[in-house]
């Protein structure tokens, strides 16, 4: 059973960003499923590293897109990205210290991050792009 599934409420109408959001969701679900299956911590940590890589790449691509459309709230959005990366790094460090066993709080963070960020924060630049 996945942590989250993609649905229309996550579609922001920007194909490249939707695709990258789906990659992040897939990475989160692999971590969640592996943990639920009792996978070794070393395997979970590899999957977490992949999530970090996909996320950093996505934020870079998303920021480039926002610049390309002249999004006026770019700097605030960028600050939110920095905070999310910091929070993710904190959870990753805790998971490493626990031998690759993520906490429920880690999964709560992932679920809230992806859902709230896409539906509320990313939606703003997507709406701006279609004006």
Q: What percent of the chain has pLDDT over 70?
A: 100
The mean pLDDT of 54-66, rounded to a whole number, is 97
Whether the per-residue pLDDT at 2 is higher than 90: the answer is no
- The DSSP symbol for 124 reads H
The mean pLDDT of 13-30, rounded to a whole number, is 96
CA dihedral sign of residues 75, 80, 83, 84: negative
Q: Give CA separation, 5 vs 30, 41, 128, in Å.
A: 12, 24, 26
The mean pLDDT of 23-42, rounded to a whole number, is 96
Whether the per-residue pLDDT at 1 is higher than 90: the answer is no
List CB contacts of 107: < 8 A, sequence separation 6 or more. Answer: 3, 32
Whether the per-residue pLDDT at 66 is higher than 90: the answer is yes
């Amino acid at each position: 059973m996945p942590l989250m599934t993609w649905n229309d409420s996550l579609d922001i109408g920007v194909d490249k960003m939707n695709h990258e959001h789906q990659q992040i969701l897939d990475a989160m679900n692999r971590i969640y499923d592996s943990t639920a299956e009792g996978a070794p911590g070393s395997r979970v940590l590899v999957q977490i590293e992949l999530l970090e890589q996909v996320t950093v790449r996505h934020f870079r691509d998303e920021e480039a897109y926002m610049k390309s459309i002249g999004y006026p709230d770019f700097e605030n959005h960028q600050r939110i990205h920095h905070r999310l990366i910091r929070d993710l790094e904190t959870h990753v460090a805790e998971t490493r210290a626990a031998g690759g066993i993520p906490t429920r709080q880690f999964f709560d963070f992932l679920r809230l991050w992806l859902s709230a960020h896409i539906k509320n924060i990313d939606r703003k630049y997507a709406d701006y792009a279609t004006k």
